[in-house]
Structures are given as structure tokens and as C-alpha cells.
Structure 1
Amino acid sequence: MSTRNPMNKRSQAQQSGEVSGFTRKSVASAKPARSAASSVRVVPASSKEKRRQAQRGESLVGLSKEEKRARKKEQRLREDRAYAVSNELLRGEPEYKSRRRVFWALLAVGIVATLFVWAMMVFAPSGNAGTMQIAQIAGLVVAYAAIIGSFIYDIVRIRPLRNDARSRAEGMSESKQIALLEQVAAERASKKK
């Protein structure tokens, strides 16, 4: 906190004992003079989850522990159902399958290149050190490029498909979600028989 100029009128008034107003130390310590009206909903913005609940209109204020647990359990069930439905929607898309194959292939290339470099360091003879170092550096470059490339590919090409499936699943009614999951379960059961 900075010090005031002693020539400032407020500083002179405080020194002489003639305090005319009230100043607070910081804005954070300021509180409303009276409580909010009954039609105003005060929502603490201390965490993302509380903000999300407030946006959905699901305030847990004033509920007992059992009621809060029940509400949270219900919310988790809804989210789990939406994830399950979005996964089933993704399984039906051939584009998603092919993109996942590319992702796993890139990741496998990166891991194999890393293992190759490690094997060269451990098992290679130390006779041709210059050539080995170049090969190791090239292998590491390939490994890093493949691994980082696989994650970038996932973000750029696969995540939009996942987000689309998630939004479609959340857009479905609860009965449609349950019907889709039951249909998929019945198809899997018939395939097993």
C-alpha cells in the first residue's frame, strides 16, 4: 500500500483529528450495507462448479447433507448417461474410428522410436560414437514429433467429433438416452448369443 502525500487534505484531516469520511482498507473488505432483496439470488463465484450449478438453477444452499448427496448423485448419473450415449454415438461413426486409428498409429510410432533410441543407448557398441549420436538424435526427433503430433491430431481432428457427439447426447431427452442405451445393450446381448 502506498503512503499518501502529507500535503493531501485527507492526510492533514486525519492528523488533526478531523476525520470527515470513512475509508476502507481495500475493496475486498467492502460488504453490502444491507442484505439482498428476496427476489435477488446471491451466488458465490468461488468455484466453477458452483457457477455451473447456479447457471442451471441448482443451488444446494439450505439443503441437508442427504439432500445434497442425492442431488449430486443424480447429477453424476445424468452426466454418466450423457457420456455413455455420446460414446455409443461415436462408435457408430466410421470417421471417428479411422481417426482414432491414425492417433494410435502415431502414438505407437513415437513409443517404438523411443524404445529404439533407448535400445541403441544400452545395447549398441561404442565404436562409432558420432554415427550413434546422430541416429539417437534422429530417433528422438521422430519420437517427439510422433507423440506430440498424435496429441495435436487428437485435439484438432478427433475432439470436434467428440464434442459434437456430446452435444447431441445432451440435447436428447432422458427417455431417448435410455432407449438408445437399452437398444445398444440388446444388440450386444444378441451378438453374444
Structure 2
Amino acid sequence: MSTRSPLNQRSQEQMREGKSGMARRSAASAKPTRAAASSVRVVPASAKAKRRQVDQGESLAGLSREEKRARKQELRRREDRIYTASTILMREDPDYPRYRRIWIGLMAAGMVFVAIGFALLALIGERASEPMKIAQYVTVGMSYVCIIAGFAFDFIKIRPIRTEAQARAKGLSESRMSAVLERGARKEKDKGKRKVK
């Protein structure tokens, strides 16, 4: 943006009238002169707030504090029911327990290799021979391989099961969701009885 010359006729007139400073205002300093009309919908600035408002299906703008709190509690209760139902549906999938054991095995192997690598480093340290240094590097490398493979396995095999269960839980009616939650509670109760015996 160019600056107006002080020798310009318009600038000279403004100086005679007692006006000083910049002749033009920037667009950044422009502010709305009045509030938005009733037909204008004001949307939140952040994407997370927009998503939450779309999920709720309504705005909490004109409600009292107690009404907002009650609506948020109801929404939280509904989200908790959906999350619990999706967890139950996910555990009922025949592949999930097997995939979960594989994932736990990969992560445990990674942690074991990390422990072995640190033990070799602590016990032998800098005075290690060449084969021992290679063994240290191999154990650290194997730990990276196992942990990264565990994350990749979770992303490729377990996450699709989790997202499918969440989608199914969100699509359930209240009666079917209650049936799923009761089924999950029965399984937990039976599992608790088996542990006591």
C-alpha cells in the first residue's frame, strides 16, 4: 500500500482543517456498526465447536445457564451410552479379541526389547566389544520395529472394527441400545461370577 504524499492538495487541506494522521484507514480496523440481524445465523469460529453444534442439532444461545447445563448433561449421558454400546459391539466382533492379543504382544515385545537394550547399555556401557555394540543396536532396532508394527496393526486391523462399531452404535434406536447395554451388563456380571468361583 502506498502512502499519500504530504505535498498533495488533499493532504494540505486536511492539515489546514486540523486533521492529522493517515488519510486512509486499513480494512483490518473496520468493525461492524450494529449487531447481526435475526435472520443471520452466527456460527462458531472453531471447527470443533462447529462439529459439536452440528451434532447437537441446535444452538444453546438463548438458554439460561441451568438449561444449558441440563442440555449438556443430557448430551454427555447420550454420548456415554453410545460409547459404551460401541465398546460392547466391538468386543462381540469375532476378530477383535484375536487382533487385540496380537497388538498387545507386539507392544509387549517392543517394551521387552527396549528393556534389554537399556540393560545391555547399563551393564556393558562404553567398554563393550564390537559384537555387544551390534547387539545393543539390534535390540533398539527391534524395539522400534515391534512398536511401529503395533501402531500400524492397530491402524490397519483394529481401527476399522472400532469405527464400524461406533457407527452401528450411533445408528441404534433407544430400545436396541438398551438391549445392547443390558447384554453387556449381563456378560460383565457373568464374568464377575466366574472370577469369584
User: Which TM bucket (shorter chain)?
Assistant: 0.7 to 0.9
Distance 1:57 1:128, change over 3 A: closer
Kept in 2: contact 1:6–1:12 (CA 8 A): no
Q: How big is each residue's C-alpha offset from its partner over 1:17-69, in whole Å with a ceiling of 9 and x where there is no partner?
A: 399xx954234x44445443323321222x34421233233312122222222
Residue aligning to 1:112: 112
Give the partner amino acid of 1:75.
Answer: L
Q: In the alignment, which residue of structure 1 is the partner of 2:184?
A: 184
Unaligned runs of 5+ in 1: none
Alignment partner, residue 139 of structure 1: 139
Matched letter for residue 50 of structure 2: R
- TM-score normalized with structure 1 length: 0.80
2:26 aligns to what? 25
Q: Does 1:79 align with 2:79?
A: yes
AA partner of residue 134 (structure 1): I
Counterpart AA for 1:119:
A
1:51 aligns to what? 50
1:118 shift after superposition:
1.0
Aligned-partner residue type, residue 26 of structure 2: K
Worse-matched range after superposition: 59-68 or 162-171:
59-68
What whole-Å deviation, never above 9, does each CA across 1:69-107 have from its counterpart, x for those lacking one?
A: 211111111111111001000111121122111211111
**Structure 2 match to 1:159:** 159
Flag the 1:133–1:175 CA change in 2: closer, same or farther, 3 A: same
For 1:25, the aligned partner's letter is S
Q: Quote how far apart the aligned CAs of 1:177 are.
A: 1.1
User: Match of 2:42, SS?
Assistant: coil
- What displacement does 1:6 show? 4.5
The residue identity in structure 2 corresponding to 1:4 is S
The residue aligned with 2:38 is: 38
1:4 corresponds to which residue? 2
Q: Is the 8 A contact 1:53 1:59 kept in 2?
A: no
TM-score by length of 2: 0.79
**Larger displacement relative to structure 2 (108-117 or 91-100):** 91-100
Residues 1:147 and 1:187: Cα distance change in structure 2 (over 3 Å): closer
Aligned 8 A contact 1:103 1:153 in 2: yes
The amino acid across from 2:69 in the alignment is: R
Using the alignment, how far apart are the partners of 2:12 and 2:179 within structure 1?
A: 77
Number of equivalent positions: 185
After superposition, give the CA deviation of every residue in 1:87-146 in whole Å (9 maximum; x if it has no partner). 000111121122111211111111000011111112238764211111111111111111
Q: Distance in 1 between matches of 2:176 and 2:9?
A: 73
